[in-house]
C-alpha cells in the first residue's frame, strides 16, 4: 500500500469512528436507565451495558476472521451494519417492554464497538514502524467527536423519541440507527480500493491464546487492555444510575459521560506519541497509575459531588486510553505476522469478556454496597496488571 493509500485509509477510519462514536455513545449514555426502566430493578440496570460489551467481545473473533480472509473493508462495514440492526431492535424492545429483546439487541449493538475497536488495528496494518502507535492513536482519537456529541444528544433524543411516539429513554437510539448506517456506508465506499488479503491458514483461537501467553510483551499487552476495559466498564456502566439516584439531571449525566469519553479518546494521539517515544511498557504503567487515581477519586467523592465524580470519570477515561493505545501496539507488534489478526481478535474477545463480568457485577454492587465500594473493587483489579508491567523488561527496540 502506498503512503497516499494509507492516508486515504486513515481518513476513512477517522470518519467511520467519529460516526460510530456518535452511535455508540448516544445509546450507551442511557443504556442503564433504559434497562432499569424496562426491568424495574436497579440491580439489573447494568445488564444492557453488559450485553453490549459481551456482544462486542463475541463478535470480535468472527469479525477479525473476516478481516483476515476478506479484508478490513468487508469486516468493518458488516460490523457497523449489525450494530445498525441492534439499535433499531433496542427501540422496539423499549416500546414493548421486553428485557429479553433489549439484551439481545444490546449484543448486536455491541458490534459497533467491535468495529470501532478493530479500526485501531486497521490503522497499523501499513503504518511506518516509527509511527505505529500514533496512527493507532489517531483513529482512537477520531471517536472523540462522536462520543462527546453522542451523550449530549440525550435530551434532544428524548424529545425526538417523544415526537415519534417512542419512549423518551429510547429516543437517543434513533441517532444510533442513523450514525451506524452512515458508518457502514463510509467504510464500504471509502475503502473500495483496498487490496484483498492473501489467503492465510486459519489459526485456532486456543493456539493463538497459548502463543500470546508465551510472549512476555504480548501477554502484558493483552492483560493491560483487558484490565483497563473491565475497570472502565464496571464503573462507567453504573455512573448514570448513581448520578440520577443522587439528584443529577439527564443534562448533568450527559456532561459527565461526555467528560469521561473525552478522557478516553481526546488525548489518544498524545498517548500514541508517548508509546512511540517513551516505550509501550512505560506508557502502560502510566495508564494503570492514572486508573488507580481515578478509582481513588471515585471512592472518596461524596454522593452529591457530581463535579468530583465527573473528574474521576475523566481520569478513568484517560487511564483507559493509555492502556488501550500502548497495550494494543505492544500486542500487535510482539506477535508473529501469521497470528497477528487472530491475536487482535483474541484481545478484543478477552477485554469484552472481562468487561462483561465486571459490568454484570457492577449492578448488584451499586444496589447493595454503593458506588464507592464499586470503585474500590475495580481498583483491586488493577493489581495483577501493575505487577506484570513492573516485572516485564522493555527490549532495546522500545516496545
Question: What are 40-67's pLDDT values in tens digits?
Answer: 777 677 778 778 878 888 898 889 888 8
CA 89/CA 150 separation, integer angstroms: 19
CB 352 within 8 A of CB 57: yes
Query: What confidence tens digit (pLDDT) does each residue in 3-43 have?
Result: 676 778 888 898 898 888 888 878 877 777 788 878 777 76
Whole-number pLDDT of residue 385: 94
Whole-number pLDDT of residue 1: 52
User: Measured between alpha carbons, how far apart are the two ends of the chain, in Å?
Assistant: 24
Grid coordinates in use for 43?
A: 440491580
CA 190/CA 14 separation, integer angstroms: 11
Grid coordinates in use for 392?
A: 516485564
CA 25/CA 323 separation, integer angstroms: 20
Per this entry, what is the length of the chain? 399
Whole-number pLDDT of residue 182: 95
Whole-number pLDDT of residue 126: 66
CB 51 within 8 A of CB 111: no
Whole-number pLDDT of residue 397: 41
Whole-number pLDDT of residue 88: 93
If one counts every other C-beta atom within 10 angstroms of the C-beta of residue 104, the result is 17
CA 347/CA 349 separation, integer angstroms: 5
Can you tell me which residue has the cell 450485553? 51
CA 348/CA 137 separation, integer angstroms: 17
CB 303 within 8 A of CB 238: no
Give pLDDT < 50 ranges for the chain: 396-398
Q: Please identify, in words, the CATH class of the domain defined by 3-188+205-391.
A: mainly alpha
CA 288/CA 123 separation, integer angstroms: 24
Whether the full predicted model's pTM is greater than 0.95, yes or no, is no
Whole-number pLDDT of residue 129: 66
Cα–Cα distance list, 327 to 69, 203, 227, 231 (Å)? 25, 22, 11, 15
Contacts of 164 (CB under 8 A, 6+ apart): 171, 174
Q: What is the largest CA-CA distance in the chain?
A: 61
CA 48/CA 363 separation, integer angstroms: 11
Grid coordinates in use for 189?
A: 465506499
**Can you list the alpha helix ranges (DSSP code H) found in the chain?**
3-39, 47-70, 72-96, 99-122, 132-149, 154-163, 172-190, 205-214, 216-245, 250-265, 268-277, 280-300, 306-334, 340-368, 371-380, 382-391
If one counts every other C-beta atom within 10 angstroms of the C-beta of residue 260, the result is 30
Whole-number pLDDT of residue 119: 85
Where do the domains of the chain lie?
3-188+205-391
Whole-number pLDDT of residue 396: 38
CA 225/CA 373 separation, integer angstroms: 23
CB 240 within 8 A of CB 30: yes
Of 56, 64, 71, 73, the residue nearest 16 (C-alpha): 73
Grid coordinates in use for 8?
A: 486515504
Element holding 267 (H helix, E strand): none
Amino acid at each position: 500500500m502506498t503512503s497516499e493509500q494509507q492516508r486515504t485509509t486513515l481518513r476513512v477510519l477517522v470518519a467511520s469512528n467519529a460516526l460510530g462514536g456518535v452511535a455508540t455513545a448516544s445509546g450507551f449514555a442511557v443504556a442503564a436507565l433504559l434497562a432499569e426502566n424496562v426491568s424495574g430493578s436497579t440491580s439489573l440496570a447494568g445488564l444492557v451495558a453488559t450485553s453490549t460489551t459481551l456482544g462486542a467481545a463475541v463478535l470480535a473473533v468472527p469479525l477479525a476472521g473476516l478481516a483476515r480472509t476478506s479484508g478490513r473493508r468487508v469486516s468493518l462495514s458488516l460490523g457497523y451494519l449489525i450494530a445498525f440492526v441492534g439499535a433499531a431492535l433496542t427501540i422496539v424492545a423499549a416500546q414493548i417492554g421486553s428485557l429479553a429483546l433489549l439484551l439481545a439487541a444490546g449484543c448486536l449493538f455491541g458490534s459497533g464497538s467491535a468495529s470501532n475497536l478493530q479500526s485501531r488495528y486497521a490503522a497499523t496494518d501499513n503504518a511506518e514502524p516509527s509511527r505505529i502507535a500514533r496512527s493507532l492513536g489517531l483513529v482512537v482519537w477520531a471517536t472523540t467527536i462522536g462520543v462527546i456529541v453522542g451523550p449530549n444528544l440525550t435530551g434532544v433524543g428524548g424529545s425526538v423519541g417523544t415526537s415519534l411516539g417512542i419512549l423518551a429513554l429510547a429516543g437517543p437510539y434513533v441517532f444510533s440507527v442513523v450514525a451506524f448506517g452512515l458508518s457502514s456506508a463510509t467504510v464500504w465506499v471509502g475503502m473500495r480500493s483496498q487490496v484483498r488479503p492473501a489467503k492465510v491458514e486459519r489459526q485456532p483461537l486456543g493456539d493463538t491464546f497459548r502463543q500470546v501467553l508465551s510472549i512476555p510483551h504480548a501477554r502484558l499487552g493483552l492483560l493491560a487492555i483487558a484490565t483497563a476495559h473491565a475497570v472502565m466498564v464496571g464503573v462507567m456502566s453504573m455512573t448514570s444510575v448513581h448520578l440520577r439516584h443522587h439528584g443529577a439531571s439527564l443534562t448533568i449525566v450527559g456532561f459527565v459521560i461526555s467528560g469521561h469519553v473525552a478522557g478516553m479518546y481526546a488525548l489518544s494521539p498524545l498517548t500514541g506519541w508517548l508509546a512511540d517515544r517513551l516505550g509501550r511498557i512505560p506508557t502502560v504503567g502510566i495508564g494503570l497509575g492514572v486508573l488507580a487515581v481515578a478509582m481513588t477519586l471515585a471512592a472518596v467523592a461524596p454522593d452529591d459531588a457530581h463535579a468530583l465524580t465527573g473528574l474521576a470519570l475523566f481520569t478513568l477515561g484517560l487511564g483507559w486510553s493509555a492502556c488501550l493505545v500502548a497495550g494494543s501496539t505492544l500486542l500487535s507488534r510482539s506477535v508473529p505476522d501469521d497470528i497477528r489478526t487472530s491475536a487482535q481478535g483474541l484481545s478484543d474477545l478477552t477485554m469484552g469478556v472481562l468487561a462483561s463480568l465486571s459490568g454484570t457485577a457492577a449492578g448488584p454492587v451499586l444496589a447493595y454496597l454503593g458506588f464507592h465500594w464499586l470503585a474500590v473493587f475495580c481498583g483491586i483489579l488493577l493489581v495483577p496488571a501493575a505487577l506484570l508491567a513492573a516485572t516485564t523488561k522493555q527490549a532495546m527496540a522500545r516496545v
